[in-house]
Amino acid sequence: MTDKLLAVSYGGGVNSTALLIGYAERGIRPDLILFADTGGELPRTYAFVEEFKEWLKSHDMPEITVVSNARSHESLEDECLTNKTLPSLAFGFRGCSVKWKRQPMDRYIRDEWEPTKAEWEAGRRIRRAIGIDAGETHRGKIPDDKRFTYEFPLIEWNWGRDECIEAIERADLTVPGKSACWFCPALKKHEILRLADEHPALFDRCVAMEHNAKENLRNIRGLGRNWSWEEFVSGDRRQGRLFPETQDTPCMCFDGED
């Protein structure tokens, strides 16, 4: 049997936006577009998602379905503060990506999306498209299982970062910034400095998260693992700007998004 239904993991950044534009250009209409909201995206990402919703509507594409793991905790930040800890990546694990991105999307398809049951009963799997570009082919290796098959259209089309940006510009859309939690330990040093400059209130909340977790930290010092963001930004400001702006690079979240 041929697997038919197509669900797209959308992250609000360059790669998955380009993926959906590429589908529209090829006359391919997904059956579902999922955006997993950790509650910690930058304001610019939420603003772009709203802009892109209108573009999708005008091109007869499905609406974006927002999912979340907000159950006992309203956001990933709230979970960290309540448990007096930091995102799992600070400890070398990827639990926050699994819990706040992959699991909510999987759960929605499994329990809430109406077509799923009939497809699985018929022996068909759900196709999952993920926005990993041609410059990161090593990441496009998620194995298929009995319920899902995984597709990486940007790799198939040989679209790297430049081609993705060109597609977004062709669509007359704003090129979105990097999609990642503003307190993500994977942020580069220049991104942390930009956060402190452009969103000081959010940076203060990162510092508060580090202070709140301090009593439970043993082998790490903060969101930078071996160093705290607070100490880093303070030191950079004392010594003058040491880390120039560079191009954003994708994070390693499950949805392949940047």
Q: Where are the domains of the chain?
A: 6-170, 189-239
Whether 245 shows a pLDDT value over 60: the answer reads no
SS3 of residue 108 by DSSP: helix
CA distances from 258 to 43, 64, 238, 251 (A): 15, 18, 31, 5
CATH topology of domain 6-170: Rossmann fold (3.40.50)
Q: How confident is the model over 112-171, as pLDDT tens digits?
A: 999 999 999 999 999 999 999 999 988 888 899 999 999 999 999 999 999 999 999 999
pTM of the predicted protein model:
0.89
Please check whether residue 67 is in contact with residue 34, taking contact to mean a CB–CB distance below 8 angstroms. yes
Pairwise CA distance, residues 128 & 43, whole Å: 27
Q: Reduced to 3 DSSP states, what percent helix, strand and coil does the chain have, rounded to the nearest 5?
A: 45, 10, 45
